Structure 1
Amino acid sequence: MSIDKNQLLRFTTAGSVDDGKSTLIGRLLYDSKSIFEDQIASVEKTSKRRGMESVDLALFTDGLKDEREQGITIDVAYRYFTTPKRKFIIADTPGHVQYTRNMVTGASTANVALVLIDARKGVIEQTKRHSFIASLLQISHIIVCVNKMDLVEYKEEVFDDIVQQYEEMSGKMMIKDVRYIPISALNGDNVVNRSDKMPWYQNAPLLHTLETLHIASDNNMVDARFPVQTVLRPQDDEHHDYRGYAGSVVGGIFRVGDDVRLLPSGFESKIKSINRYDQDVKEAFEGMSVAITLEDDIDLSRGDMIVKPNNLPIKDQRLSAMICWFNENPARPRAKYILKHTSNEPMAMITEVEYKVDVNTLRRIIDDKDIKMNDICKVKIRTTAPIMMDEYSRNRKTGSFILIDAATNETVAGGMLQ
């Protein structure tokens, strides 16, 4: 199957502290010649000043270290690079256990997760945690990079043992595609170029795998969903009768003349026009930002949704969801939060904690209902106004939400509707 050279692949890196994430990303950028010459010269100069014999690849991604040391919060760093075969965005997240929330943020839009494992340590708690989050977010592809093979003498049996460990763990999760690559990010083995030190490994190196991996579209082209972000009412004489509903299509296709239903009111109408910038278009599909006008003069406002009459979302004030708690302060019993779902922002309350998940054993914890930072749990939520939603497995955009503390305006949790 041919790969569209313009197709964007988003991947996230996950691993424990010192597993070599920065070095791996640096190696990918360096060996694929995706770094500007002045950056290379600067890093080479810094490496020599530190007495290193070769280029410190981690310096290509450690540009944010100074900011972190100064106390500036940088949760997820996004890096971009392009090869002749594909465009990439890397979501680089810190590896500490307390930054699990950032893994959720970085992985929420990813097609692929790179899970790094230190060949000397094998599968550890962080490996299980990151893999569980990847499965929870329904990332279709996981590439397990067994790093630092140079420190275990490139032994095949070490790699095979880790593959077996991971297979036993991932078999309990809903992961569609897992691939394993033995690498040495420091020396470049099997990262961009195939290694001659591991002749027993016959599959492709990492970059070739990323370039040729078939990524099915995450777009839901079946369920038409258009959350209204704002109402356009120009005040000039030329457009004094114009009433457009602006927003982004988050599912399906809308065409001029389509019958539509307006939620939560339930009124029905037809699409009169679809405007994009200063042009009329005949259709709008997922990802397009447009303004839609209707044949009938119906009052819509921010947070309402335009859908097709024969394909309706769930409309309810009672939600069932898996959430990851981001905040240092624990969830307060019956506290009120702002639930941000597409363009809708009603007040909400967690009414019940069904269970928490032990990411080490994947067992449900029923007797502990206190939600603390990095906890992943199944909850029931009630909102003050109806939410027009789909299950996360069906549509990532209409199936996800965040909770915001109304008092501090801090994002305290991210959730996936079940």
Structure 2
Amino acid sequence: MSRHRNIRSMDFEEECDAFDDVYGHSVEDDYSMSPSQAAFMYNRNNIQIGSYLNSQKDIEEEDEEIESNEELKKAKLESCVEQIRGTLGTTMTRQQIVDAVVGFDYNVERALNSLLNENPKTQESNRSSKVQTEDLPSSKVVGGSSGAQGKTRTVTKGFDVVVQKDVSRLSSTPDSQSPASGRGTPVNVDEELNKKWEPKIDVLAQYKKDRSDSKQHLYMIVIGHVDAGKSTLMGHLLCSLGQVHQKVMHKYEQESRKLGKQSFMYAWVLDETGEERNRGITMDVGRSQFETQNKLVTLLDAPGHKDFIPNMISGAGQADVALLVVDATRGEFETGFDFGGQTREHALLVRSLGVSQLAVAINKLDTVSWSKERFDDIKDKLKVFLKQAGFREADVTFVPCSGLSGQNLVKKSTENELISWYNGSTLLEVIDNFRPPERPISKPLRFSINDIFKGVGSRLCVSGRVETGCLSAGDRVLLCPSREIATVKSITLEDVPYPVVYAGDQPTVTLSGVEMENVSVGYIMCDIQSPVQVASKFQCRIVVFNVKVPITKGYPIVLHHQSLMEPASFSKLISQLNKSTGEVVKKRPRFLSNNTSAMVEIQVSRPIALEMYSEYKELGRVTLRVGGLTIAAGLITKIIL
């Protein structure tokens, strides 16, 4: 017998009773499973749910409509009050604002005008700070008004900004969210931009009052070729000054001995990470602090390896003076100086970044028996080069020393071979004799950001250097190029709270009113009434060092500006200049070769915050690198908006 049924000859009316698995029937139950009208009946009183809902519809919709209208009016009222409060501040009571809003049927503009007419003082103040979007620096209007809101689409060098012309919509609280959060930040920069910048306090008098009793603060960067002994030299100096506890040094000595690197025990004072200690090289800029007789010195230990030169550039941008360490061991100095080492490049970089005072520590001189001839040979070679790099002879000091043995660091040397021909200053005395640079504290605020992190309470914290001006807790600041507004909540300097910091300081600042994703390393924090310029193209006078391929139009480079690294290119070669006099030698040259000076136009991949050298020296310098090599440095002469 076949296992399959004869479907064609089957009589379904007779056969279906024999099968429980026919469609519409359950295997276990006999009642209907397919949907029918009974499945939609209200069981209690046999009334269909649909008809029941229809009978209650009018009542429920009416109640919901009343509640929604009340909530809408309440929300609308609160919104209007908040907008007017943001414009008028505390000059009006809440009840006055509520009465005006309700009286003018929630028309914010009419209510605001009515309140301003009632208060002449507020009206006069508001008139003086009237928004004029056509005066926005580095922006142009590319769209018209959009409806009753009076919005104008404005593009500011690659960043879309919505400028609210309606006075009632210019209010913004310090804790307003940034655009990236999806909630939008009302742009009210323009109201502040049109105000003339004036110092809020007598900065010079306040600076003298705050800092007259304290020692002069210097930021010193230690540079030089890899393995020149920079970390060991400064680590031993810190130990000799009592900055490192004896128990800690004993621990470093035991641990380094186990690894067979006992000579690195002093370097570990500054090289704190495991990778730096295992590899025996500095990778990031180490920070420490010590005092001399007249100075408070913050030490910046820069990496010497060529792979970490971007970190070194970032550290050099924060320095006031520099200490160049060279290895006196025969063959080692020549490797770092003559054969593509970092001695030349580091010296050129710090000079191009504005450092004018330099001390040269001729280290490891004990390996050549404190030879005077070796010292003089290194000194003569470096003198010629440093003069070509732009250092004045009076600003360069040479000192012999040994980082491992500690000779001539803090105390006079006890080595007879050295005493016989050298009776000059110790390394500590040379550092103490550095002149503090001029602090441009009377200029508008310029703060370059070199680190971003979350602080206590998940607050946004930024650290960097105050290039010009001063910064106080409670100040409202502008972050460029994104044009985000933030409020300074607190300031710490070397982990100590400060109410005010000045040009030259490197504090950590806690901000509110801005999201972390809208701030980047390389941003400039500035005064709202005196914003930093934002552009993607500028003219620059450069000095070309060494290039393997001649520079031509379109030549790609990496631009270093403070802590910022940005892809760029030469968009135009304007003229070739005489290196000594600055006179134009050739207009529109086809290429630039080694050791030439030129005026060029540089195009950056996106808008950045920068200033002309003539106005802000600290933000007017750039360094140009290609393929891990520094090919040129320059001064910004013109910003093309």
TM-score w.r.t. length of structure 1: 0.61
Which residue does 2:381 correspond to in 1?
165
Which residue does 1:14 correspond to in 2?
223
Which residue does 2:629 correspond to in 1?
none
**Displacement of 1:53 after TM fit?**
8.0
SS of the residue corresponding to residue 90 of structure 1 reads: strand
Q: Which aligned pairs between 1:336-355 and structure 2 lie closer than 5 A?
A: 350-352=569-571, 354=573
**Displacement of 1:77 after TM fit?**
2.6
Which residue does 2:425 correspond to in 1?
204
Tell me if structure 1 keeps the 8 A contact 2:270–2:288: no
Partner amino acid, structure 2, of 1:78: G
Q: Does residue 114 of structure 1 match 2:323?
A: yes
Q: Does residue 417 of structure 1 match 2:617?
A: no
Which residue does 1:193 correspond to in 2?
411
Q: 1:340 to 1:10 in 2, by over 3 A?
A: closer
Q: 1:100 to 1:195 in 2, by over 3 A?
A: same
Q: Does residue 153 of structure 1 match 2:369?
A: yes
Deviations 1:235-291 (A, max 9, x none): xxxxxxxxxxxxx9753579xxxxxxxx99xxxxxxxxxx9869xxxx996469899
Tell me if structure 1 keeps the 8 A contact 2:325–2:363: yes
Q: Does residue 97 of structure 1 match 2:306?
A: yes
Partner amino acid, structure 2, of 1:167: K
Which residue does 2:611 correspond to in 1?
389
Q: 1:164 to 1:366 in 2, by over 3 A?
A: farther
Inter-partner Cα distance in structure 1 for 2:448 and 2:274: 40
Which residue does 1:81 correspond to in 2?
289
Inter-partner Cα distance in structure 2 for 1:221 and 1:19: 37
Partner amino acid, structure 2, of 1:389: E
**Displacement of 1:313 after TM fit?**
8.5
Inter-partner Cα distance in structure 2 for 1:307 and 1:290: 21
Provide the identity percentage: 23
Tell me if structure 1 keeps the 8 A contact 2:221–2:323: yes
Unmatched tracts of structure 1, length 5 or more? 230-247, 255-262, 265-274, 292-301, 325-331, 357-364, 370-375, 404-412
Q: 1:104 to 1:190 in 2, by over 3 A?
A: same
Larger relative contact order, structure 1 or 2 (CA cutoff 8 Å, min sep 6)? 1
Which residue does 1:407 correspond to in 2?
none
Which residue does 1:213 correspond to in 2?
434
Q: 1:55 to 1:336 in 2, by over 3 A?
A: closer
Q: 1:62 to 1:417 in 2, by over 3 A?
A: same
Deviations 1:317-363 (A, max 9, x none): 64134599xxxxxxx959899998999x9x9953437599xxxxxxx
**Displacement of 1:4 after TM fit?**
7.1
Inter-partner Cα distance in structure 1 for 2:266 and 2:273: 14
Q: Does residue 130 of structure 1 match 2:346?
A: yes
Q: Which aligned pairs between 1:219-258 and structure 2 lie closer than 5 A?
A: 219-221=439-441, 223-225=443-445, 250-252=467-469
Which residue does 1:143 correspond to in 2?
359
Tell me if structure 2 keeps the 8 A contact 1:13–1:113: yes
Inter-partner Cα distance in structure 1 for 2:226 and 2:567: 36
**Displacement of 1:150 after TM fit?**
0.7
Q: 1:377 to 1:96 in 2, by over 3 A?
A: farther
Aligned residues: 333
- Mean Cα displacement is larger for which, 110-119 or 380-389? 380-389
Which is greater in Rg? Answer: 2
Q: 1:228 to 1:202 in 2, by over 3 A?
A: closer
**Displacement of 1:67 after TM fit?**
5.8
Tell me if structure 2 keeps the 8 A contact 1:342–1:401: no
**Displacement of 1:84 after TM fit?**
5.7
Inter-partner Cα distance in structure 1 for 2:254 and 2:440: 48
Which residue does 2:255 correspond to in 1?
46
**Displacement of 1:152 after TM fit?**
1.1
Q: 1:250 to 1:50 in 2, by over 3 A?
A: closer
Tell me if structure 2 keeps the 8 A contact 1:226–1:307: no
Q: 1:335 to 1:117 in 2, by over 3 A?
A: closer
SS of the residue corresponding to residue 389 of structure 2 reads: coil
SS of the residue corresponding to residue 303 of structure 2 reads: coil
Tell me if structure 1 keeps the 8 A contact 2:271–2:286: no
**Displacement of 1:188 after TM fit?**
1.0
Partner amino acid, structure 2, of 1:213: F
TM-score w.r.t. length of structure 2: 0.42
- Among residues 210, 218, 242, which one is paired with 1:33 in the alignment? 242
Partner amino acid, structure 2, of 1:32: L
Q: Does residue 182 of structure 1 match 2:390?
A: no
- Among residues 310, 319, 330, which one is paired with 2:538 in the alignment? 319
**Displacement of 1:116 after TM fit?**
1.3
Tell me if structure 1 keeps the 8 A contact 2:314–2:563: no
**Displacement of 1:303 after TM fit?**
8.2
**Displacement of 1:57 after TM fit?**
1.9
Inter-partner Cα distance in structure 2 for 1:113 and 1:342: 18
Partner amino acid, structure 2, of 1:143: A
Tell me if structure 2 keeps the 8 A contact 1:249–1:285: yes
**Displacement of 1:18 after TM fit?**
1.6
SS of the residue corresponding to residue 171 of structure 1 reads: helix
Inter-partner Cα distance in structure 2 for 1:31 and 1:335: 48
Inter-partner Cα distance in structure 1 for 2:488 and 2:440: 21
Deviations 1:284-310 (A, max 9, x none): 96469899xxxxxxxxxx9886568xx
- Mean Cα displacement is larger for which, 51-60 or 14-23? 51-60
SS of the residue corresponding to residue 617 of structure 2 reads: coil
Inter-partner Cα distance in structure 2 for 1:101 and 1:342: 9
SS of the residue corresponding to residue 30 of structure 1 reads: helix
- Bigger strand fraction: 1
Tell me if structure 1 keeps the 8 A contact 2:221–2:299: yes
Q: 1:111 to 1:117 in 2, by over 3 A?
A: same
Alignment RMSD (CA, Å): 5.1
Q: Does residue 58 of structure 1 match 2:267?
A: yes
Tell me if structure 2 keeps the 8 A contact 1:27–1:57: yes
**Displacement of 1:381 after TM fit?**
2.5
**Displacement of 1:382 after TM fit?**
4.2
Which residue does 1:299 correspond to in 2?
none
Inter-partner Cα distance in structure 1 for 2:390 and 2:410: 29
Inter-partner Cα distance in structure 2 for 1:65 and 1:353: 46
